[in-house]
Structure 1
Amino acid sequence: MLEVKDFAGAPVTHGRVSLNGTRIHYVVAGQGEPLVLLHGVPKSWYYWHRVIPMLSEHFTVIAPDIRGFGDSFRPQSGYDMETVSEDIIQLVDHLGFDKFGVVGEDWGACFAFAVAARYPERVTKLSFGESLLPGFGLEDWSHLSPENRALGRFLWHVSFFHVPDFPEMLISGKEAAFWSTWMKNETYDPAAITDDCVDEWARTSSAPGGLRAIFSVYRATWENIKFTQSVQEKGLPMPILTIGAEYFIAEEARNQMQHFSSNVEYVGFDCGHSLALERPVELAETLIKFFSPA
């Protein structure tokens, strides 16, 4: 892991806090209104290390390790979207903030969506990047079908990770090779997944309970479907920025959020699935523009 500094050259501040039945590791950097960054699978707060220096000039950046990921604890349960969203809201409370913006990518976007849905009075704006919600496309894209294969959208791992025990058995001891190959296959520029990233996510996923925790996110699918479908009935009131990668799910990110709001903006980048690693400057500029006060 490389040392990560804010816009002024000061190292990010690390913290740990016990809340909601687990213990969360997080980093804070910068100044201004709070902006929470939520990573996806199999990542950690370090996914954001290339954008934190830019964002921290404009916001107080809060980047936690989702429960079970990074250096957060790995409890036996609580990997559904509602429970993780409660972790995040309690973390923001601990840091003394009321209203905040929230950014998510991949599964982090699902968790950010859940925070916004459960606490709409506190989330000023939501950015939903490169993700499919359970109940609104995730399962459909995981099917082995001629259509999905032809369109290049067969997300085989969704079903594989959902199977109990077998992914852990097959991947244990091979974390670096597996995550590196899988993540690079989802990018436009494989060189964006550098050794420091692979080493960090191999380190944390190979820790006791690391793989179990990651796959538990997928194994909460039926709970998550029930939750997302309930949100559709009431919608989301805040402005939503959707971000898609031309070489992954692209405008599907926007399509997802249009089930919940008419106040949806879309920005697309010419990259693959790892937005903050492949297009950090463009992503930071887009987030700064969207989340800055008018």
Structure 2
Amino acid sequence: MNGSDTAAMAGFTHHRIAACGIELHAVEAGAGPLLVLVSGWPQTWYSWHKIMPELARHFRVVAVDLPGLGDSDYPKQGYDTGSIALHLDAVLEAFGAPDCILVTHDIGAWIGYAYAARRPQRVRRLVLMDAAIPGLVPMEVFRFAPETVGRVW
């Protein structure tokens, strides 16, 4: 399902955001502190559509289609994690927010981690779900008791 198919969803507003020479598609709902949702590959904003109404009760929630996915532009280059991470600056600026709570999933976590590392002042909280960040060994980042580690994966 793409943005035009879901435009009638109550309380959801679709946006085009200029970012690094392309346009990103984003869907917004709610009011409050900015909470940005970044999905994995090959997912779009729609992967968050069931949780967005609940989040929107407490936050201004924005789900972004990454470059090359969904209704965002498909640039010829710039698909590395660092380049895509910098697109998040434009998202924060578009919504007038100095910082955000960044919630990420799958490969979106790689982007979220890179963004938080480069722009720590812009990330109030960071949630990384279902991803091991390349270059980091998960057990060095996440400490688990030996008796529970088998239940993590």
Same-fold call, TM cutoff 0.5: yes
Q: How does 1:17-166 map to 2 (within 5 A)?
A: 17-136=17-136
Number of positions where the alignment pairs a residue of Structure 1 with one of Structure 2: 142
For the structure 1 residues 49 and 98, does the alpha-carbon distance in structure 2 shift closer, same or farther, using more than 3 Å as the test?
same
Match of 2:15 in 1: 15
Kindly provide the amino acid, as one letter, of the partner of residue 114 in structure 1: A
Match of 2:147 in 1: none
| Distance in 1, Cα, partners of 2:52 & 2:133 | 26
Deviation at 1:91, TM superposition (A): 1.6
| Distance in 2, Cα, partners of 1:87 & 1:256 | 28
Contact 1:67 1:74 in 2 (8 A): yes
TM-score (norm 2): 0.84
Match of 1:206 in 2: none
Q: Which moved more, 1:80-89 or 1:36-45?
A: 80-89
> What is the alpha-carbon root mean square deviation over aligned residues?
2.3
Kindly provide the amino acid, as one letter, of the partner of residue 49 in structure 2: H
Secondary structure of the corresponding residue to residue 111 of structure 2: helix
For the structure 1 residues 117 and 49, does the alpha-carbon distance in structure 2 shift closer, same or farther, using more than 3 Å as the test?
same
- The structure that is strand-richer by fraction is 2
Contact 2:39 2:106 in 1 (8 A): yes
| Distance in 2, Cα, partners of 1:122 & 1:88 | 10
| Distance in 2, Cα, partners of 1:59 & 1:100 | 10
Deviation at 1:12, TM superposition (A): 0.4
| Distance in 2, Cα, partners of 1:25 & 1:47 | 14
Contact 2:18 2:90 in 1 (8 A): no
Cα deviations by residue, 1:164-209 (Å, 9 ceiling, x for unpaired) = xxxxxxxxxxxxxxxxxxxxxxxxxxxxxxxxxxxxxxxxxxxxxx
Deviation at 1:101, TM superposition (A): 0.6
| Distance in 1, Cα, partners of 2:7 & 2:140 | 33
Secondary structure of the corresponding residue to residue 120 of structure 2: coil
Contact 2:37 2:63 in 1 (8 A): yes
| Distance in 2, Cα, partners of 1:34 & 1:52 | 12
Deviation at 1:131, TM superposition (A): 0.4
For the structure 1 residues 256 and 89, does the alpha-carbon distance in structure 2 shift closer, same or farther, using more than 3 Å as the test?
farther
Identical amino acids, percent of aligned pairs: 35
Deviation at 1:99, TM superposition (A): 1.5
| Distance in 1, Cα, partners of 2:6 & 2:75 | 28
Larger Rg: 1
| Distance in 1, Cα, partners of 2:106 & 2:87 | 18
Unaligned segments of structure 2, at least 5 residues = 144-150
Contact 2:11 2:30 in 1 (8 A): no
Contact 2:17 2:90 in 1 (8 A): no
Q: How does 1:236-275 map to 2 (within 5 A)?
A: 252=138, 255=139, 257-258=141-142
Deviation at 1:110, TM superposition (A): 0.9
| Distance in 1, Cα, partners of 2:49 & 2:57 | 14
Secondary structure of the corresponding residue to residue 90 of structure 2: helix
Cα deviations by residue, 1:256-294 (Å, 9 ceiling, x for unpaired) = 644xxx9xxxxxxx9x9xxxxxxxxxxxxxxxxxxxxxx
Match of 1:200 in 2: none
Cα deviations by residue, 1:32-85 (Å, 9 ceiling, x for unpaired) = 100000000111010101110110101000111001111100101111111111
Contact 2:7 2:14 in 1 (8 A): no
